[in-house]
Chain A
């Protein structure tokens, strides 16, 4: 079956512009996660959704970052007024449930969107 997909795969933008990144999770997965990974670094948690609601937005770096999820499926991460420090790979993951402690919390990752802010 299809895995997690993300679009675009690469995005180059100018400083100050807004960008939208899209994530299509695996069908039936209720939990969806956004992470950011800078070159040679680990994954930085941004936000997670259980269904359409976001119980934990603690990782969003600033109010320029926002995310939404509609229909319990597709999610978009929006970065307004992009800055050069926003350049990174943005990874999306989904899992059957956000409840920890079972194999259901195994996360399936997409290939990521590489964002470059000039």
Chain B
């Protein structure tokens, strides 16, 4: 079965630095890969979607890469701020299934 791995350990970053989160998956590549942000006690919020044939996607301070050879996506937050502290989830989106498979998330903490 398809598996997604995100770093289960919390990531602690100094404010202003770039935070990089990793999402690895097994078996076949999804058509699309999504990233969500989740704050405590709230539902996830969609951030970015990247397609299989795209190498990189940017949105403001966010950058996502998608390497189907390595079966990996990297999520970068540049000029990180304490308000970026949250859990970030990656999700595999297979067009044939219409079911999105979520990773367990990585908790990011930005210290002032």
Contacts and interface: CB of A to CB of B under 8 A. Distances in A.
A2 B23 CA distance: 32
A112 interface: yes
A100 B43 contact: no
Given A42-B103, A45-B99, A98-B98, A112 B31 contact: no
A111 B42 contact: yes
B43 A110 contact: yes
Nearest to B51: A101
29 contacts: A4-B43, A31-B98, A35-B102, A42-B89, A42-B102, A45-B100, A45-B102, A56-B97, A56-B98, A56-B99, A59-B99, A98-B98, A99-B98, A100-B31, A100-B32, A100-B95, A101-B51, A101-B93, A105-B49, A106-B34, A106-B46, A107-B44, A107-B46, A108-B46, A109-B44, A109-B45, A111-B41, A111-B42, A111-B43
Interface of B: 4, 6, 31-32, 34, 41-46, 49, 51, 89, 93-95, 97-105
9 A-B pairs with the lowest CB-CB distances in the bound complex, closest first: A109-B43, A42-B104, A100-B95, A43-B102, A98-B98, A106-B46, A42-B102, A101-B95, A100-B93
Interface of A: 4, 31, 33, 35, 40-43, 45, 48, 50, 55-56, 58-59, 91, 93, 98-101, 103, 105-112
